[in-house]
Amino acid sequence: MIRLDVLAVGNLQRDDEGKVFDAHSSSVLIRTDERTIVVDTSTKYMRPAIKTSFRQIGAFQKDVDTVVLTHSHYDHIGNNDMFENAEILVHPDEHGKIVGAKLLETDKELVPGVRIMHTPGHTKGSISVFIKADKRYVIAGDAVPRYGNYEKMTPPAINIDADLAVESIKLITRYADVIIPGHDPPFLVER
Ligand SMILES: [Zn+2]
């Protein structure tokens, strides 16, 4: 059985000129028979919220054996040190920025029901986590940073390739019943 819990709901604020001044990513706990996985660790600001979530869920930080990073931007990696027993996995194209991380294989199952998909565009090495549980979930990181990117099929404001980024949003949308975006609450995909 796969259990999914959102440890922290991502958010993002812009100033009057549209410039981002505050960004904290979502952080998600996946518990399977094989592994206990955290996807993205958000920022130090979210640390108390993540700790509270563990207590409320009845899970323990020390039991986390795997941290998967959707990419290496600062607002997704700020609490890697909370999980001292975990190996940290990141796409080869993001690897240089994360000390001690191991390489993540994409388009492949990490454990049964949890597949890592390469979803580039925001960054070269952006990945998303596709999960088959009671519904089909995608933890998208900044491949889908906000609800509006899905709703309007617009690439993330920060991107290395806008067309590639939109292809990644389409790939995610085709699979998902529920998308957990990088910087918004989870939402349902309309069919
Ligand atoms: Zn990012």
CA of 184 to the centre of ligand 1 (A): 13
Whether the pLDDT of residue 91 is over 90: the answer is yes
**How many domains does the chain fold into?**
1
- Name the amino acid, one letter, at 121: G
| CA dist list (Å): 49 to 40, 44, 55, 99 | 14, 10, 10, 25
The CATH number of whichever domain residue 9 belongs to comes to 3.60.15.10
C-alpha dihedral sign at 44, 49, 51, 54 = negative
Cα 176 to ligand 1 centroid, rounded to whole Å: 21
Q: Which of 180, 171, 176, 169 is nearest to 191 (CA)?
A: 176
Neighbours of ion ligand 1 (CB under 5 A): 73, 142
pLDDT tens sequence across 2-41: 999 999 999 999 888 888 889 999 999 999 999 999 999 9
Query: What is the reported pTM?
Result: 0.96
- Find the domain containing 65 and state its range: 3-188
What separation, in Å, do the N-terminal and C-terminal C-alpha atoms of the chain show? 26
pLDDT at 97: 83
Tokens of 62: 């020390």
